[in-house]
Amino acid sequence: MDARVRRSLMYVPGSSEKMLVKSRHVAADTLVYDLEDSVAQHRKGAAQHMVLQALQAAPEQGPELAVRINAPSMQRDLAKEDLEVVLQSHRVQAIVVPKWESVDDLDVVAEAARSLTQYTPSAPLALVLSIESACALLHMPQMLTEAKARMEAWEHRVSLAALLFASEDYCAATRIQRTRDRQSLLFPRSQLVTTARAYGLQAIAYLEEECRDGAHLGFDGKQVIHPAQLDTVHTAFSPSEEGTLPSLTQTWALRGPFGRRTNVARRTTKAQ
């Protein structure tokens, strides 16, 4: 399993100059500069270069720096453009691949990494794979097996680091109705954690996951959209002095991404 700690993956909209600047002072384990859902279509090109600048300006001793590209499964050419721009920075340590549906989606990232000298078998580009559909959930074992088989062809310039459960997209794709106790999503969440463990990967919970619940299911971390969430998330996904994860119940009603009012349990970052 990837040795890096990823208790918190905090999203920063790639088209918001204000949020990109503020992210320099955030103590998340991983900062995810987002080029996908939080960026309106007409601002995709501008956001690519804004994220490149943010990567270059990020503190040297700060969080892991990741970029969520546009989904290769849906917009392959745009995903390639994202990588062509942001990988000009040698600071990118991980790529979040949304709507992962096929091993071919990873070829886009692997080919980009192979052309760059900063990614090597001893320091590969980490891949965080977002599961957002029933097909992706059911085909995870086959896709991961095939991805591992392609590592030699990819010259080990990339590595499989984590599986991420995107519950909102999953519910939309499967017509599952979300319930307050999250029991309607117990199967896919448990399946993702089980598969992650079987393949030596981390499991990352979605925005709506309560910390206690996610930790008890075996998730390693959680996605967040506001710095005020970080202390609670880090506590929930860190071992206690007894070596077990603490039991926490935490309800957030706070200001959304860097200041806007939101209910964290029900919203994700919207397009800027």
List, as residue ranges, the binding site for Mg(2+).
169
Q: At 107, which amino acid appears?
A: D
Q: What is the DSSP letter of 9?
A: E
How far apart, in Å, do the first and last CA atoms of the chain sit? 35
Tokens (6 digits) for 132: 């957002």
Residues annotated within a binding site: 169
CA gap 122, 227 in Å, rounded? 32
Contact 122, 155 (CB under 8 A): no
Q: Is 210 helix (H, G, I), strand (E, B) or coil?
A: coil
H-run or E-run covering 192: helix 186-198
Contact 175, 152 (CB under 8 A): no
Beta-strand pair 125-131/158-165: parallel
48-66 burial, b at 16+ Cβ within 10 Å, e below that, comes to bebbbebbeebeeeebbbb
Q: At 70, which amino acid appears?
A: N
Contact 109, 154 (CB under 8 A): no
Integer angstrom CA distances of residue 198 from 100, 145, 189, 193, 244: 18, 11, 14, 9, 21
